[in-house]
A = this chain, B = another copy of it.
Amino acid sequence: MAVIAPETSEETMAMRVVGALRDDIVTMALKPGDVISESDIAGRYGVSRQPVREAFIRLAQQGLLLIRPKRATVVKKISPDGVRQSRFIRESIEVEIIRRVAANPGPEANETIAGLIADQEAASASGDSRRFHTLDELFHRTLARLAGVEYAWQLIDDHKMQLDRVRYLTLGVSSSQRAIAEHKVIAAAIAKADPAAAEAAMRAHLARAELLLTQTINDFPDYFE
């Protein structure tokens, strides 16, 4: 019974509920296949059904909920094929981004990237996996910004929620050391203004997730279609 009150008039209750539910879903507090209802969530957050309903619509459009009219609303199970294609989309865009950045790094690019990698090493050394995850995201988003297509990253971000659910299931499994090493390879390619090498490094960096996916499906079969 966590009552959520809007701080500013700019943020509506519906938006609050969206954020709260999305966090619950991505962190697996709400598990794939769980059945929820407007009244249920409304009572839980101390609001009426209306804002909850609108939150459901938003989350359904983002692929996290499945609204079955007149039947029920369920947390969508993770579609392995959907995850694969989300990754395909991300890879397609990020490869294009890394090409642009490597072809035309700009003055601030190298130092910015080096700084981010240093932060990641610090986070990894202190075992702060949450901060590491944040920095990892920032690493990729920064590349998008350097390529002048920050909006494109927002698109990736939307579809990344699907991948994040898988990632959450594999917490601790993925080696942050390895991710840092791969980031360094990418940074080196950018420093040498070598688009081809940067592209190859980015592909390798993203491809590693495929192994984790099949492994995770075996570990949590109920969460997948």
Instruction: Show the binding face of A for B, using Cβ within 8 Å.
Output: 9-10, 12, 53-54, 57-58, 61, 69-70, 81-82, 85, 88-89, 91-93, 95-96, 149, 151-152, 155, 159
**9 closest A-B pairs by CB:** A92-B96, A85-B151, A92-B92, A92-B93, A85-B149, A85-B152, A88-B149, A89-B152, A61-B61
Nearest CB of B to A60, in Å:
9
Please report the C-alpha to C-alpha distance between residue A155 and residue B91 in the assembled complex, in whole angstroms.
14
User: Is the Cβ of B96 less than 8 Å from the Cβ of A88?
Assistant: yes
Task: Name the B residues within 8 Å of A92 (CB-CB).
Answer: 92-93, 95-96, 152
Q: Which DSSP category, helix, strand, loop or mixed, fits chain A's interface?
A: helix
**Apart from the given pairs A85-B152, A155-B155, 7 other A-B contacts in the complex at a CB distance below 8 Å:** A53-B54, A54-B54, A57-B58, A81-B151, A88-B96, A92-B95, A92-B96
Nearest CB of B to A100, in Å:
9
User: Is the Cβ of B85 less than 8 Å from the Cβ of A89?
Assistant: no
Task: Name the B residues within 8 Å of A95 (CB-CB).
Answer: 92, 96
Nearest CB of B to A2, in Å:
23
Please report the C-alpha to C-alpha distance between residue A159 and residue B158 in the assembled complex, in whole angstroms.
13
| 11 sample A-B contacts, Cβ–Cβ < 8 Å, listed by A number | A9-B69, A12-B69, A53-B54, A58-B61, A85-B149, A88-B93, A88-B152, A89-B155, A92-B92, A92-B93, A92-B152
Most buried by B among A9, A10, A95, A96: A96
Please report the C-alpha to C-alpha distance between residue A92 and residue B12 in the assembled complex, in whole angstroms.
35
Of all chain B residues, which has the CB nearest A55? B57
Most buried by B among A54, A92, A149: A92
Please report the C-alpha to C-alpha distance between residue A88 and residue B149 in the assembled complex, in whole angstroms.
8
Task: Name the B residues within 8 Å of A88 (CB-CB).
Answer: 93, 96, 149, 152
Of all chain B residues, which has the CB nearest A67? B12
